[in-house]
Amino acid sequence: MIIAERKPMKELLEMVSDVKRLLIVGCRGCVAVCSAGGDKEVSILAAALRLGMKKAGKQIEIDEDTLVRQCDPEYIDPLNDRASDYDAVLSMACGVGVNFIADRCPDVNVMPALNTTFYGANLSSGEWKEMCAGCGACVLHLTGGLCPVARCAKSLSNGPCGGSQGGRCEINPDVDCIWQQIYDKLSSLNRKEELRQIMPIRDWTTAGHGGPRRRIREDLLP
C-alpha cells in the first residue's frame, strides 16, 4: 500500500494560519491502514490544530470527515457542494487524493496534511518498510522477488556493491543489503547461477522519466 506520514504540526499550522473554517478530510484507503489519515488520525489532527490555533490566539472552526477513498471520483465529487462552507480542505489522503480533489473540485482550496513517503508493507504494528518503487518495469522474477530498484540504496542491477558487509548496507547498518538477500534467496532456490547474467541497462521511461504515466484498459472504458 501507499505509506504516508503526517506533516509536522508547525508546517500544518502555518498552512492553515489564515483559515477560519477548515474541513479535514481523511481517507479510508491506504493511509487509514498505515495509521496516517484514517478516522482516528483525522480526529487527532483536528484536536491538535484546534489546540495549536488557540495557543496562537487564532479562531478556527474545524469539521471532520473521512471518505471511503480519495482516488475515485464518486467519493470526492460531493466536496464540490461543500466548498462554499469552508475556506480550505485539508486532505489526509496521499498525494493522489490531494491532486484528485484539486483536479475535480474547482472551488475547493485543497491542502496536504501528509507527506506521501513510499509503497511499503507493514512489518509489525507501527513499522512500515519500502518494498516497491513503482518503476514500471518489474524485474522481480530475476531477483527472487526482492526489488533492487526500491531496496538497494544505489538501485544496482548486477549484484552487491563493495559496501555490502555482513548482510548490511554501507549507508546504514540498520538497512539490509538487498543484494545479499537476493543472493541468499536465489541460492536457496538453486537459482544463483542466474546472477551471472548481466542485467542490461534499464529503460527508465516507464519509471516516470518518460513523463507522467497513464494506464488505459480499453475494455473498461465507458
Partner 1 sequence: MMAGSNLENVLRSGTFAVTGELGPPKSGDMEVVRKKARILKGHVDAVNITDCQTAIVRMSSLTAGLIALSEGVEPVMQMTCRDRNRIGMQADILGASALGIKNLLCLTGDHQKFGNHPQSKGVFDMDSIQLLQMVKGMRDDKKFQCGEDIKKAEPRLFLGCAANPFADPFEFRPVRLAKKVEAGADFVQTQIIYNIEKFRKFMEIVRDLGLHERCFILAGVTPPKSLGMARYMKKFVPGLDVTDEVIQRLSDAKDQKEEGIDICVDIINQVREIPGVSGVHVMAIEWEEAVPEIVKRAGLSDRPEPTGIEPVLTSTGAIEEAVDKARQEAKIELEGQLKKAKAEAQATRDLLAKEKEKVASEISGLKKQIEEAKNMVSRKEAEIRKLTEELKKAKESMDESQAVKPTVQAKEAAVGVSPLLSAREQQVLNSLNKGLAALKEVLGLDDAQFEAMRRFLEAEFMLQLGTAVVQAGPLETAKAESEVSRPVVETPTVEPAMEVSEDKRTERPKEVVNLVAKGNVALHNKDYPKAVEAFKKALEIASDDEKAKEGLEQAREALAKEKEAADKAVKVKEVEGLPPCPEELDPEEWKQKWIVRFTARGNVALMKGDYEAAKREFQKALELDPDYEKAKDGLRRAENQEDIFVPDVELGQEAVAAPKAEKAPESQKPEPAAEVKPEEETPPEEEAVPAEEEKEEVAEKPAAPQPKPKVEISAPAGEGVKDLSVASLAKDEPPLEERAKGIPEDVYKEPCTGVIQSVSIGDGDKAITVGGETALPFHTFEGDIPNMPRTAYEVLDAPPEEWPECLVRYYSDVINDSAAWAKKCVSEFGAEAICLSLDSTDPNGPNVSSADAAQIAKKVIEAVDVPIILWGCGNAEKDTETLREITSLIENRNVCIGPLTDANYRTLGATAMAFQYPVVASTPIDVNLAKQLNILLENLGVHLDHILMDPSIGAVGYGLEYTYSVMERIRLAALTQQDEKLSPPIVCNLGREVWKAKETRLPTDAELGDQERRGVLMEAITASTLLLAGGELAIMRHPKAINLTKVLIDGML
Partner 2 sequence: MSKIKGFCCNYTLSVDIEALIKEGLVPEDLEIERLPCTGRLEVPQLLDAFSDGAEAVFVVGCQLDKCHNLSGSYRASKRVKYAKRILEELDIDPDRVEMFFAGRGETEPVVEAARIMASRSKG
Is residue 51 involved in binding partner 2 (CB under 8 A)? Answer: yes
Q: Counting every residue, how long is the chain?
A: 222
In the complex with partner 1, the residue whose CB is nearer, 54 or 154, is: 154
CB of 44 to partner 2, least distance (A): 5
Q: Per-residue x/- mask for partner 2, residues 9 to 38, rule CB under 8 A?
A: xx--x-------------------------
Candidates 33, 48, 142, 175; binder of partner 2 (CB under 8 A) is 48
Candidates 14, 18, 20, 40; binder of partner 2 (CB under 8 A) is 40
SS (H, E, C) 135-197: CCCCCHHHCCCCCHHHHCCCCCCCCCCCCCECCEECCEEEEECHHHHHHHHHHHCCCHHHHHC
Residue linked to cell 501507499: 2
Question: In whole angstroms, what is the distance from residue 168 CA to residue 165 CA?
Answer: 5
In the complex with partner 1, the residue whose CB is nearer, 74 or 193, is: 193
Candidates 8, 173, 208, 210; binder of partner 2 (CB under 8 A) is 8
Q: Which does 162 bind (CB under 5 to 8 A by kind): partner 2, partner 1, none?
A: partner 1
Q: Which does 181 bind (CB under 5 to 8 A by kind): partner 2, partner 1, none?
A: none
In the complex with partner 2, the residue whose CB is nearer, 5 or 184, is: 5
SS (H, E, C) 30-51: HHHHCCCCCHHHHHHHHHHHHH
Is residue 115 involved in binding partner 2 (CB under 8 A)? Answer: no
Q: Are 176 and 131 in contact (CB under 8 A)?
A: no
Residues in contact with partner 2, counted by CB under 8 A, come to a total of: 15
Task: Write the CB contacts of 176 (distance below 8 Å, at least 6 apart in sequence).
Answer: 151, 167, 168, 169
Q: Are 46 and 25 in contact (CB under 8 A)?
A: no
Give the footprint of partner 2 on this chain (CB under 8 A).
8-10, 13, 40, 43-44, 46-48, 50-52, 54-55
